[in-house]
Each structure stands twice: as structure tokens, then as C-alpha cells.
Amino acid sequence: MRQLKPAIGIFKVLLFFYMLFIASNVFAQGGTAITIPSIPGRSICDNDFPINAVAVSPAPLLYASSNLNVATISATGVVHIVGIGTTTINAFQAGNPFTASQSLEITSPSPPKVTIAADKTSACAGSPVTFTATISELGVTAAYQWTVNGINAGTNSPTFVTPVIQTDVVQCIVTISNCHVTGASNQITGIKSVPYVSPSISIISSVTFTSNSLANGDNVTCTLTANGADCYAPTSATSNSIAISAASVAIGTVNIVASGNNVRSGTPVTFTASSTLPASKYQWQINGIDAGINSSTFTTRNLKNGDVVTCIALISAACTAPVASNPIVMNILAPPKITVTNTFTPNGDGVNDLWLIPDLSYYPNCLVTIYNRYGILIFQSRGYNHAWDGTYNGRKLPTATYYYVIDLNDITPTPKIGGHITIIR
């Protein structure tokens, strides 16, 4: 690599002398052409730019501007814009009769497009509003002049913070610094000025506030604090004070008893409540579900094994909470198996004169029906409090076989019982 550097240097020297030889021959023969690329029109705000003239001869290029009030050109071919108008840019060489020229037109740029916006449409009276200016041309250096009602205000900044009233007119004038071209923004007016109000609050004895820790002599107050959405001055207010007068607490108890337990399904059971303090209301419950009416007694035949019966009483005395009674867990016995005899002798001797079914006493809603062999209804009874005596419409029925259907109508659905019964006289 070190051996190549001297060789390259010698090559450059030989090339320079060769080009000088060619240029001398060209000038001796009458000169050579010079060219300047077409120069597009420019704005007075544009930066310096090179004209990029090209000549065959290696002789140095020289430059000139025909109108120095429009543009000047440096010895290296860089144009500097001075003002609006037209000038001719020339390029030439010493000893070369040929020159190159291009016209350059400098125009005034369009004013910058400026838009301003406010950060709010209403503000508390005297509170600041922030205005922000945006220009469409990116990368330019600009100067900002804000005005309020046509009078200069603010600083050279794209933002302007000031308190305004509804009639104020805010605008921003932007000047492009390197060419002194100005543009005016839109105008903003009508920003609502909301007057400040002084908050106040008062409470009465039925204030919307609940506490179970108040004691006699406590004082309750309420403080109203603005949430920032309204114009309050000051931002909070404290109410009057309410003194608490707490009455002594009366403690009552309620006890309930049942008329029976360990009973058959469907047997009515009556529960009675007694309280140590007068009660104004009773609410009976079975397994926590309201039942019964507002009474100190509760009767039901719809109990199931394991049901828990309780009563909640509202004590009439002041400052007492509802009290719950002791629970009663019911033990309901399984219904008995119905045993039906299939003969009886209603002959008036006092023995086996009635068709007795004792177990039906546990089913007060049962329906007993009896038919003859032709399907004619001869007996029907809701509940079986009076056993059948073998008659139909007051007349004794003859010895024969009859047919019965018993519907228990139990709380728990059960199949109907059917069969035959024979009267023997």
C-alpha cells in the first residue's frame, strides 16, 4: 500500500500537465464551451445555493451577477439572495471567449399560514387561558407577536398565557425571520369568563349521614369541598354544628314456644312469641324465609322435618333494634302407612258397623270416594271424620262388593289408594 501512494501522486501531476496542455491548445484554437444548469425561480427566503457551472477547460471559472440588488455570487459559485427581482448569473474563464448565462428570478414568498387554539372555552374570572400557535411551514425560524384587542402582548413564543374576558380578541402575527414575511392567524374571541361563587352549606337534624358510633354530646358538621369543576372562592365551606342527644338503649328479648313437636306431617303446629319489652311488629320465618302474619302467634301444618322456625320482633321502645328469637327445629314424623280393611258388617249390632280407617286422621285434606259395581258414586267425604256406615242416601246397601279410591292430598305428592270393600250383613 505504501508503494502505491508515490505512484498515485506522480499520476496526478502528469494528469494536471496533460489537461493544461489540452486547455492551451483549445484556447489557441479559439476557446471552449461553458455550461450552467437551468436555475429554477427562488424565494427571497431561500438559502444560498451553488450554480454548478461546468467547463471543459480546467482553467478556473469566474462568476458575476448582473443585478447585485437581487443576488450576489461568490468566487466559488455560490449564490446569495439579496432582494426581489431578476438577475443574470454569468460564468467565464480568463482567455476563453465563451461564457455561460442563466436568468434567476427572485419572488416574494406566500405569507406563513398560522393557526391558534385555546386550551379551554371557559375559565373562572381572572384565571389564565393558554393559546398555542402552529405554522404550516416546518423547519423555518419564526418570530411570534401576540395581540389582545390589537395591542401587542406576550413574548416571542408559540404559546401565550393570559387571563381574558369574553369580549377579548386574541391573535398572533408570525414573521419568518430570514426574509421578514409575515402572516396573521385566526382570531379567538368569546371565551366565557365564569364569575366566582362563595360556597355555603348547612345541616339539620335529619342530615344524610349514618353512624352507629355517635355518643351523647357529639357534634356533627359537614364540609363542602369544590371538585375543581366550578369556580369557588374559597374552595370549601363548613356547615353549622349539630349536637347529638343520644337516648339510652333498651335491650329486649323474644322467646318462642311450639304447641307440639315430633308430630306427623300435616299436623297443625302453633308457635307463640313472648317478649320482655312490648313489641309492635312480629315477623315469623321458616328457614330464614318470611312466613305468617304480623302476630304474636303463628300456626302452620306445612312443616317438613328439619325446618327451623324463628321470630323477629320490633320492640316499641325507642333506640332498640329488632331482636331475633330462639330457633325451634321441627322433628316431623314420617306419615303412617294407610291400612284399609276390605270387609265390615253394618248390621247394627255395634260390632264392625263402620268402615274404619284410623290412619286417615293424619290427612285432614284426604278425599274418600266409593262406587258400586256400575260405577255409580255412593259415598264421598273430604277428610274422614265420619266413617262410612254402608248406606246410600239413608238406605242400607245390600251385601255386595264396592270399590273405593282414596286421595291423601298430602304435602308430599303420593299415589292414590284404590281397592274393593265388601259389605256383609
- Grid look-up 242416601 returns 393
User: Is 230 a domain residue?
Assistant: no
Same domain, 27 and 97: yes
User: Which of 240, 244, 250 lies closest to 213 in space, CA to CA?
Assistant: 244
Could you report the per-residue pLDDT of 345-399, keeping only the tens digit for each?
Answer: 999 999 999 999 998 988 888 999 999 999 999 999 999 999 999 999 999 999 9
Residues 347 and 405 in one domain: yes
Give dist(CA 154, CA 152) in Å, integer: 7
* Domain C-terminal end among 194, 229, 262: 194
Query: How distant is the alpha carbon of residue 32 from its chain centre?
Result: 82
Tell me which residue of 113, 107, 108, 106 sits closest to 89, measured CA to CA: 106
CATH value at residue 166: 2.60.40.10
Show Cβ contacts of residue 371 under 8 Å, excluding neighbours closer than 6 positions: 377, 378, 402, 403, 404, 405
Which among 333, 354, 372 is the end of a domain? Answer: 333
pLDDT tens for 191-230 read 998 887 877 777 775 576 777 777 777 877 888 777 765 6
Number of domains in the chain: 4
Cell output for 236: 370549601
Same domain, 297 and 386: no
> Does 178 fall in a domain?
yes
Residues 363 and 395 in one domain: yes
Structural domain that includes position 297: 254-333
- Three-state SS at 330: coil
Residues 70 and 118 in one domain: no
Cα 51 from Cα 36, distance rounded (Å): 7
Residue 217: inside a domain: no
Domain for residue 392, yes or no?
yes
pTM score, whole prediction: 0.40
Are both 103 and 121 inside the same structural domain? no
**19 and 74, same domain (yes or no):** yes
Task: Verify that 317 and 399 share a domain, yes or no.
Answer: no
Q: Verify that 329 and 359 share a domain, yes or no.
A: no
Rounded Cα distance between 52 and 39, Å, is 10
**Domain-embedded: residue 220:** no
Please tell me whether residues 371 and 407 are part of one structural domain. yes
213 domain-assigned = no
CATH number for position 79: 2.60.40.1080
Task: Tell me the CA end-to-end span of the chain in Å, nearest whole number.
Answer: 149
Per-residue tens of pLDDT for the chain, all 425 residues: 334 344 444 544 344 344 444 444 444 444 579 999 999 999 888 889 999 999 988 899 999 999 999 999 999 999 999 999 999 999 999 989 999 999 999 998 888 899 999 999 998 888 999 999 999 865 567 899 999 999 999 999 999 999 999 999 999 999 987 777 889 999 999 999 888 787 777 777 557 677 777 777 787 788 877 776 567 777 778 878 877 776 656 678 899 999 999 988 778 999 999 988 888 899 999 999 999 999 999 999 889 999 999 999 988 776 677 899 999 999 988 777 899 999 999 999 999 999 999 989 888 889 999 999 999 999 999 999 999 999 999 999 999 999 999 999 877 778 999 999 999 98
In this structure, the answer to whether residues 19 and 85 fall within a common structural domain is: yes
Domain boundary among 65, 85, 107: 107
Report d(CA 284, CA 300) in Å as an integer: 11
